[in-house]
Structure 1
């Protein structure tokens, strides 16, 4: 079985990145919806964002209600864009910038479903451990959604549990 852990590595230009790979028994179209549909994103993604925009569009990644409640985080009252949609080729490639980071989702059809490769190029190398734990927890929710399993855990709590694996 594949490793569930993300791989932390240095990119060709010296930045730190995290990469996850998942083999999923679901077609690319279903995986695409799991990573773009606002209703599904609200269960696991660490921001509120509308990704259904033309390539090149500026994006605003808002703070989630849970982040507001748990950490006291607040949105920019001016809602100044903090990202940009770089590529959107449903159902195979989604790439965007967010607060100086690049997030890439690649979905390839396989004989039994899809291969999902997610890469997050970080702006702060010190954030690799916590970010990897958060993405792993989020991907667990994505997989549960795709499988039709109930989500009986909180992804933020799960990320805290996983953090030790990335220290």
Structure 2
């Protein structure tokens, strides 16, 4: 894989070309929390509702069709409409708690890998995109979401809106 880091901050996402020529983004976070807690932060619907850009139930068997719905905030802010038929738009590809979660969402592949470390966990998140031009906005959005995940794990109050934060971060990824 050939990659480049967007910006100089190590907390920024890495945008790279996959071996098959698609565009992907990757984040790494060293977290002082065990993998089981990190797994809950990326799968529990109550936690996801604070940062994930869709409403989804990931507690399904591998191979299950998934429906990623529009959030109430996306409806309010952007006028996005949810599919009343809830037609599946994804699939659960891997679920190996608390180490690997991978799913397809509208043609994109999202992979969460959690490795136990001596002091907690290493979280590696990779999103293989369908549209290369989406790398900037997607990376800003995932960085904002990961900030919420870290705050949740640390027990800190979330005093910001992740959509507003993504807009602030977008300049770093243009």
- TM-score tier after normalising by the smaller chain length: over 0.9
Query: d(CA) in 2 for partners of 1:66 and 1:75?
Result: 12
- 1:151 and 2:136 matched: no
Partner of 1:37: 44
Partner of 2:84: 77
- 1:140 and 2:147 matched: yes
- 1:12 and 2:19 matched: yes
- 1:64 and 2:41 matched: no
- 1:26 and 2:33 matched: yes
In the TM superposition, residue 129 of structure 1 has moved relative to its aligned partner by 0.1
In the TM superposition, residue 78 of structure 1 has moved relative to its aligned partner by 1.2
- Pick one of 34, 55, 58 that aligns with 1:51: 58
Larger mean CA deviation between 75-84 and 131-140 belongs to 75-84
- Give CA deviations for 1:91-145 in whole Å, capped at 9, x if unaligned: 0000000011000000000000000000000000000000000000000000000
- Give CA deviations for 1:12-64 in whole Å, capped at 9, x if unaligned: 00000000000000000000000000000000000000000000000000000
- 1:87 and 2:94 matched: yes
State the number of aligned residues: 166
Query: d(CA) in 1 for partners of 2:76 and 2:98?
Result: 34
In the TM superposition, residue 156 of structure 1 has moved relative to its aligned partner by 0.1
SS at 2:98's partner residue?
A: coil
SS at 2:46's partner residue?
A: helix
Partner of 2:129: 122
Q: RMSD of aligned C-alpha atoms? A: 0.7
Query: d(CA) in 2 for partners of 1:11 and 1:150?
Result: 37
Query: d(CA) in 2 for partners of 1:60 and 1:150?
Result: 29
Structure 1 spans left out of the alignment, 5+ residues: none
